[in-house]
Structures are given as C-alpha cells and as structure tokens.
Amino acid sequence: MGLKTKEEYIESLRQMNPTAYMFGEKLTNIVDNPRLRAGIEATAATYEVAEMDEFRDLVVTQSPLINEPVNRFTLPPSSIDDLVARVKVNRKLGNWVGTCHQRCTGLDCLSTLSIVTYDIDQKYGTNYHKNFIEFLKHMQKNDLTGNAGVTDVKGDRSLSPHEQPDKDMFLHVAEHRDDGIIVRGAKAHQTGSLSSHEIIVLPTRAMREGDEDYAVAFAISSDTPGLIHVVGRSSLDTRELDGCDLGNIRYSKYCPTLIFNDVFVPRERVFLCSETEFAAEMVVRFSSFHRQSHGGCKAGRIDCMIGTALTMMDYNGTTKASHLKQKVIDMLHRAETLYGCCLAASYEGKQEPSGHYFIDTVLANASKIHEGKELAEASRLMVDICGGFVADLPSDRDFTNSEIGHLLKKYMKGADKFPVENRIKMYRLAEKLALESADTISDIHGGGSPEAHRVTIFRESDIESKKKSAKRLAGIDD
C-alpha cells in the first residue's frame, strides 16, 4: 500500500485500543475526544499534505526498500537530498499546522536505528539490523506513525540507572524470555503517543558497566497490554473540551507520560539489549536528528507568528509604523537563521557504513541552541506588535452574549475596513502561539536540555584543528 489518506489514518487509530487516562479519568474514545482530536488532526496533516499537489513532490518519495511511494516520515535518509527534504518538509508542516505535527520523532528514531543497529551487528553478530529492516518495511507498507520513547523520568540524576534506589526510574528489562523481554519503567513528554501506531523506545543516556538491563531499544504497538498513556496538563488545554476560545481552531498538541507496566516485547522487535557501549551512539544520533527536525518545524512556527503579527498590524491600523516593521524583520531573520543552520547540517551530512546518511551534529545542535533563545524572542515580538489583548481577551461566549456582546464588539473595533470578528480571532491565535505551554516549553527542552546541546557542540567540534590554525598564524611550531 505505501501511502494512507488522512481518512484512512483516522480510521486506523479507531481500530486501536490503547489504555489512556486524562484529568483523572480513563478514556474510552481517543479519536473523538476534543482535546486529543486536535493533536490527532495535526498528525493527520502529514497524511493530508501528501495528497495535495503543492506538497506531494516534497512529502512523497520512492522507497528503495519496498519499491513503492512512501511518506517521507517513514524513510530514513539515504542521500543528502533526503536530509535536506527532512528540514523542508518540517518547515512546510510547521507553517501549515502552527504547532507540533508530532510525526518527526518517529522518523528520528528510524533514522537512528538504520545506522546504529548495523554498527552493533558488525561488532557482535546480532540480528538487530535484520529486526529493524523488517520493522521498517512494516512501517512503510502501512504508512504508520511512530512515537519516540526516549526521555526517562531519571529519579536521582546524580546516580546512574543501576544505582537508583528505585530501579524503575529508568526503563529497563525486568525479565529475559526465550521469545522476548519484559520491560518496566516510564517515558516522559511523549508528544502525540496516542496519535501514533508504534512506540519506538531508545535509551535516554549513555550507559556503563552495571547498566546492561537499561541499554534497551525496541518497538511496540501503542495499544500493547501494560502500556499506559497519561495525558499531561498544559495551559489552554481545556479549551478544546469546552469548544471555545481555541485560537488555533484546527490543531493542538498534547504530551502524555508513558508507563510501561511489565510490557512484553517480542524478540523480533528488539533493536538493542545490554550492549551498553552503543547506548551513547543511539542518544547522540537521535538527539542530533531531532534537533535538525526542530530547525525546520520551529522556523515554520515562527512563520505563523510573523503572519499573525503582520495581520494584526493591518487590523490595528499600524501597518506604517516603522518600529513595528523592524520587529517583524527581527522575527524574519530569526526564522531564516534557524532554518539555514539546519539546512547546513543536512548539506554537511555524510554516509554511514549502513548506507544511510547522518547530519553534521555541531550545526544541528547550534540550531537548537538558537531555537531555545530566539523562539522566545519571536514570541515576545509578536505579542509586542499585537497588543495587550493577547493576555486578557474576553471569551467568545461574552462576544455572543445577547446583553453585552454588541458592546464588546463596538469597543474591540480596530481599523474600519476589517471586521471586528477577524481581529478577535487573530488575537486568540496570538495567545495560542505565545502561551500554549505544551509547545513553547519544547522550544527550550525539546530534543534535550540546552546544556546537552552545548556539551554536544564542544564534544563533536574539531577543537585541535582550531588550535593548530591559531598556532600556525602565530608562528608557533609544536
């Protein structure tokens, strides 16, 4: 089959039966829950655009593995062009949905495993790469969405995994069986896990002697028995349930915690099991791929902020205000710098022994540091341009109230040629873009903490060549 339509994607989720909780209650209908449906619609957009003429050539490509057209979100990069396309697709989708489309992390996992499982097999003669290739065929043939289970809850962060008083603070193998493994633990910040068909688990950090049971990677269906999705709170989250004051009327983001309560993983779905020295490689590969992904989608999100700011300048009658134009320019250069850095990371990519391609880690991490600072600044500039009603706009229900609605609309009027209703809607969108914590916090911590980005840049940079260059110029001969 190779490609799903948006409707087929939605229906495929209906056929699943995950265990999920939200606001203290067990959920019985995931797909039609208004809070979750907005997030599902964001992922559904990755299927929708694959059918659209203006996006199809970018989103759809030929798989050399199954020799069929596939969505790029199931294709580990096999060329520089594939690396570049990852960034371009993410920017288009970031602009299209104005939030997280929730599908890039699954591709980041596939891209990581396509490289590291091969490396493990070369050293140990294991079957991990074969397992992965069969899993990848399954993902491509059925156009499935994957979710990245990477971030452990970590417990006492001064202790390694096996030193934790509670051994479940890092996901680990609780039992080895002939036909598979039993795993126990939890993964946090699992954006879109209920929008996904598969949960792909990787280690969260480097491992050392004693951590063998924690060095594990695998894939399971998102409705596997024992797997529990607990949807986290975020600002503005009940508005989907209320059907009111949405801001972004089409899409949203939600982030569960996943509890692995003695979950069985079949042997053929295991991609790492006790080879501690390869945990670090998985972490570096995944985090770098994901930081590259962020550079595309977050540039697209800034595009939405810029469009909101410019439209509000029209509605407010401030289009000719030069100081506001300068702020828009500041937003533009932040988006393009972020985007350009990730494109550069792609163009500087290289082929790995497995045949797949990996990006330049220094440039990818530089992009993520830039994102963590500059998206907050872009948000501040957007709010500055739009005005104070971003913070305390009356509810849509006040505007439709028969007693006060007409008065509110009278006093919310801006430039005369624009309907007041449009100005109200744009204020609400600005609020969503600036204040939805599920999305704005990921600008800082998504893909790892800012310190992790800095450490990676220093570790992966060719420090000695820089010193050598300086010494040559100074006339120092070692």
State residue 438's pLDDT score: 64
CA pair distance 356, 342, nearest whole angstrom: 18
* Contact criterion met (CB below 8 Å) for 74 and 143: yes
Mean pLDDT of the chain: 93
CA pair distance 92, 300, nearest whole angstrom: 6
Query: Given the structure tokens 């069985």, which residue do they identify?
Result: 264
Confidence of residue 238 (pLDDT cuts 50, 70, 90): very high
CA pair distance 142, 154, nearest whole angstrom: 34
Domain-wise residue ranges, the chain = 6-277, 282-463
State residue 1's pLDDT score: 63
pLDDT digits (tens, 9 = 90+) for 113-125: 999 999 999 999 9
Q: CA Rg, the chain, in Å?
A: 23
Token pair of 411 as six digits: 């006093």
pLDDT digits (tens, 9 = 90+) for 25-37: 999 999 999 999 9
Tell me what the mean pLDDT of segment 192-213 comes to.
96
Return the DSSP state at 395. P
State residue 424's pLDDT score: 97
* Contact criterion met (CB below 8 Å) for 460 and 279: no
Return the DSSP state at 414. -
pLDDT digits (tens, 9 = 90+) for 335-376: 999 999 999 999 999 999 999 999 999 898 888 888 878 888
pLDDT digits (tens, 9 = 90+) for 439-475: 666 656 666 666 666 677 777 778 788 888 888 888 9
Confidence of residue 422 (pLDDT cuts 50, 70, 90): very high
Instruction: Find the largest Cα–Cα distance for the chain.
Output: 85
State residue 45's pLDDT score: 97
CA pair distance 166, 151, nearest whole angstrom: 17
What's domain 6-277's superfamily in CATH?
Butyryl-CoA Dehydrogenase, subunit A, domain 2 (2.40.110.10)
State residue 465's pLDDT score: 84
Query: Given the structure tokens 């990996």, which residue do they identify?
Result: 358
* Contact criterion met (CB below 8 Å) for 43 and 102: yes
- What's at 90, amino acid-wise? N
pLDDT reading at 227 higher than 70: yes
Tell me what the mean pLDDT of segment 404-419 comes to.
96
Confidence of residue 281 (pLDDT cuts 50, 70, 90): very high
CATH of domain 282-463: 1.20.140.10
Confidence of residue 309 (pLDDT cuts 50, 70, 90): very high
State residue 478's pLDDT score: 79
Better pLDDT: 448 or 317: 317
pLDDT digits (tens, 9 = 90+) for 147-163: 999 999 999 999 999 99
Strand partners, 358: 350
pLDDT digits (tens, 9 = 90+) for 55-100: 999 999 999 999 999 999 999 999 999 999 999 999 999 999 999 9
Token pair of 318 as six digits: 């401030």
- What's at 228, amino acid-wise? I
pLDDT reading at 128 higher than 90: yes
CA pair distance 7, 12, nearest whole angstrom: 9
Token pair of 94 as six digits: 């970031």
pLDDT reading at 394 higher than 90: yes
Query: Given the structure tokens 């916090």, which residue do they identify?
Result: 441
State residue 453's pLDDT score: 61
* Contact criterion met (CB below 8 Å) for 157 and 85: no
State residue 462's pLDDT score: 82
Nearest in space to 32 (alpha carbons), one of 41, 24, 23: 41
Query: Given the structure tokens 């096999």, which residue do they identify?
Result: 78
The residue count for the chain: 478
